[in-house]
């Protein structure tokens, strides 16, 4: 590991800095504790997904989550056995108190944040360090030109370094030396496990629908019902057998919605009334709970409701992506901006600007080849994110096992 005069001076100053009152901390979770730090360029939801996967692969693990900045991060989405704390300031007394309390068995730093005093103290305690989900641009590398030795010394303390892409891997080796254990893992992405389905029910409905063109509007709020019905009317002008499967955002509105659709002259059937999407049905109201896995599998095209106007809650677009349904959405991603950004980068979704754009997109995607291309790209983006999560989880567990093996020897 390369030594750095700049790091030695930094640590000297950190040791002389005054202390401050320690924050109240919860009890350390029992058993093996994995500390996950959310740094610049990474994200809480993505690390929460990684934590859930680690918990599946190694039941009994506990987690501590911190984030860059002075605030304690939200641990929502992490496994139940998760504690949260704020990142300690770069002062030796604060860092000592933090590590004395939590006693992590491994630390995963995600993103490009490398707090020198914290990393040096953790490494000095023989806590295995893993750096993941890091992307370094040419501009980032140039910004380090006066601190290359310090950055290289910090990188040399990591047992595993998992870069997002080949360019980042090359830049990290230039800083940390050829012996730096860098590998290309990809970017950790927030994805979604395929929603479950009753296969017998799916097969029966697929046979009933046969070759009918089908599209789905999911989690549709009242404010978007007009746009969805108008888009369906326009699509039916080109494909008169087209079926709309409509999932309202609020199932309590199902009665009023069914009445409205029927008054406008549509033939409507309702799932909650145990009705079927028979050949004459034009709108099938899927107003029963917990069946989205069924509808995503039956519909080649899905419009993500709650995205045409701001303030919508919507659903995770990786739900239909994981099941091979092409995705349409409006300009407002709600709580899933990263997911929509990834799908846009992969050309795996189509954004529409408003009601007129939705009608045009549904009409165009009647063509199976166009829907299939979007659906394939969406599935590839979803499955690729799951592969990265598994790759990083495997590296973390390998580093943890190596540490525990050394302790037992």
pLDDT digits (tens, 9 = 90+) for 174-195: 988 888 999 999 888 777 778 8
Structure token pair of residue 108: 């995963």
pLDDT at 217 exceeding the cut of 60: yes
Contact 336, 314 (CB under 8 A): yes
Read off the pLDDT of residues 29-49 as tens digits, 9 standing for 90 and up. 989 999 999 998 888 888 999
Domain check: are 40 and 149 in the same one? Answer: yes
Domain check: are 29 and 164 in the same one? Answer: yes
pLDDT at 55 exceeding the cut of 80: yes
Across the range 225-236, mean pLDDT stands at: 94
Of the listed ranges 2-11, 38-47, 196-205, the least confidently predicted one is 2-11
Instruction: Please give the pLDDT value at position 20.
Output: 65
Burial of 406 (0-12, 13-18, 19+ CB in 10 A): exposed
* CATH number reported for the structural domain that contains residue 29 in this entry: 3.40.50.11720
Which strand ranges, in their side-by-side order, compose the sheet holding 283-285? 268-270, 283-285, 243-248, 214-220, 301-304, 326-329, 349-351
Residue 405 lies in a domain: no
Proportion of the chain above pLDDT 70, given as a percent: 95
Across the range 121-148, mean pLDDT stands at: 88
Read off the pLDDT of residues 107-133 as tens digits, 9 standing for 90 and up. 999 998 889 999 999 999 999 999 999
Domain check: are 220 and 357 in the same one? Answer: yes
Residue 55 lies in a domain: yes
Confidence class of residue 388 from pLDDT cuts 50, 70 and 90? confident
Read off the pLDDT of residues 148-175 as tens digits, 9 standing for 90 and up. 888 888 999 999 999 999 999 999 999 8
Instruction: Please give the pLDDT value at position 168.
Output: 92
Residue at a domain's end among 149, 166, 188: 188
Burial of 364 (0-12, 13-18, 19+ CB in 10 A): middle
Residue 406 lies in a domain: no
Domain check: are 285 and 363 in the same one? Answer: yes
Structure token pair of residue 358: 């939705």
Domain check: are 166 and 250 in the same one? Answer: no
Residue 409 lies in a domain: no
Residue at a domain's end among 154, 188, 222: 188
pTM over 0.85, yes/no: no
Read off the pLDDT of residues 71-98 as tens digits, 9 standing for 90 and up. 899 998 999 999 999 999 988 899 999 9
pLDDT at 331 exceeding the cut of 60: yes
Domain check: are 74 and 132 in the same one? Answer: yes
Domain check: are 226 and 176 in the same one? Answer: no
Closest to 393 (Cα-Cα) out of 5, 12, 53: 53
Domain check: are 176 and 33 in the same one? Answer: yes
Q: Provide the total of helices (H) and of strands (E) in the chain, helices listed first.
A: 15, 14
Residue 161 lies in a domain: yes
Instruction: Please give the pLDDT value at position 309.
Output: 87
Domain check: are 291 and 178 in the same one? Answer: no
Q: At what angle do helices 5-16 and 148-155 cross, to 10 degrees?
A: 80
Per the structure, the count of domains in the chain is: 2
Domain check: are 230 and 162 in the same one? Answer: no
Confidence class of residue 19 from pLDDT cuts 50, 70 and 90? low
Instruction: Please give the pLDDT value at position 366.
Output: 85
Query: What range defines the domain where residue 361 resides?
Result: 199-384
Residue at a domain's end among 166, 188, 210: 188
* CATH number reported for the structural domain that contains residue 216 in this entry: 3.40.50.2000
Domain check: are 96 and 238 in the same one? Answer: no
H/E element, 384: helix 368-408
Instruction: Please give the pLDDT value at position 42.
Output: 86
Read off the pLDDT of residues 359-383 as tens digits, 9 standing for 90 and up. 999 999 988 888 898 998 888 877 7
Across the range 8-36, mean pLDDT stands at: 79
Read off the pLDDT of residues 252-309 as tens digits, 9 standing for 90 and up. 999 999 999 999 999 999 999 999 999 999 999 999 877 999 999 999 999 999 999 8
List C-alpha distances in Å: 260 to 241, 274, 303. 21, 20, 20
Residue 106 lies in a domain: yes
Instruction: Please give the pLDDT value at position 3.
Output: 59
Instruction: Please give the pLDDT value at position 4.
Output: 66
Residue 321 lies in a domain: yes
Residue 378 lies in a domain: yes
The Cβ-side half-sphere exposure at 186, using a 13 Å CA radius, reads 18
Domain check: are 358 and 219 in the same one? Answer: yes
């Amino acid at each position: 590991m390369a030594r750095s005069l700049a790091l030695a001076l930094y640590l000297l100053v950190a040791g002389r800095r005054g202390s401050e009152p320690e924050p109240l901390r919860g009890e350390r979770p029992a058993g093996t504790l994995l500390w996950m730090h959310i740094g610049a360029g990474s994200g809480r939801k993505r690390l929460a997904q990684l934590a859930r996967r680690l918990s599946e692969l190694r039941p009994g693990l506990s987690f501590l989550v911190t984030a860059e900045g002075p605030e304690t991060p939200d641990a929502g989405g992490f496994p139940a056995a998760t504690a949260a704390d704020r990142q300690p300031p770069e002062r030796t007394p604060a860092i000592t108190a933090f590590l004395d309390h939590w006693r992590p068995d491994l630390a995963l730093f995600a993103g490009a944040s490398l707090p020198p005093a914290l990393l040096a103290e953790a490494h000095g305690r023989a806590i295995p360090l893993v750096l993941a989900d890091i992307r370094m641009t040419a501009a980032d590398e140039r910004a380090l030109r006066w601190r290359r030795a310090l950055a290289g010394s910090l990188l040399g303390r990591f047992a595993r370094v998992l870069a997002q892409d080949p360019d980042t891997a090359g830049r990290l080796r230039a800083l940390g030396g050829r012996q730096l254990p860098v590998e290309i893992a990809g970017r950790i992405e927030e994805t979604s496990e395929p929603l479950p389905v009753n296969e017998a029910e799916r097969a029966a409905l697929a046979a009933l629908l046969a070759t009918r063109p089908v599209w789905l509007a999911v989690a549709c709020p009242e404010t978007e019902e007009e746009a969805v019905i108008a888009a369906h009317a326009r699509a039916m002008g080109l494909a008169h057998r087209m079926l709309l499967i409509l999932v309202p955002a609020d199932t309590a509105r199902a009665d009023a919605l069914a009445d409205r659709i029927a008054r406008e002259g549509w033939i409507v059937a309702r799932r909650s009334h145990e009705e079927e999407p028979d050949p004459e049905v034009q709108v099938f109201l899927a107003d029963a709970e917990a069946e989205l896995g069924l509808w995503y599998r039956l519909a080649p095209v899905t419009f993500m409701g709650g995205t045409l106007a701001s303030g919508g809650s919507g659903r995770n677009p990786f739900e239909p992506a994981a099941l091979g349904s092409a995705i349409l959405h409006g300009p407002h991603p709600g709580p899933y901006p990263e997911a929509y950004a990834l799908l846009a980068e992969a050309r795996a979704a189509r954004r529409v600007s408003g009601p007129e754009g939705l009608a045009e997109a549904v009409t165009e995607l009647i063509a199976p080849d166009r829907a299939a291309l979007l659906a394939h790209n969406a599935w590839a983006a979803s499955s690729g994110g799951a592969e990265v999560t598994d790759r990083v989880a495997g590296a973390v567990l390998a580093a943890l096992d190596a540490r525990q093996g050394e302790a037992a020897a």
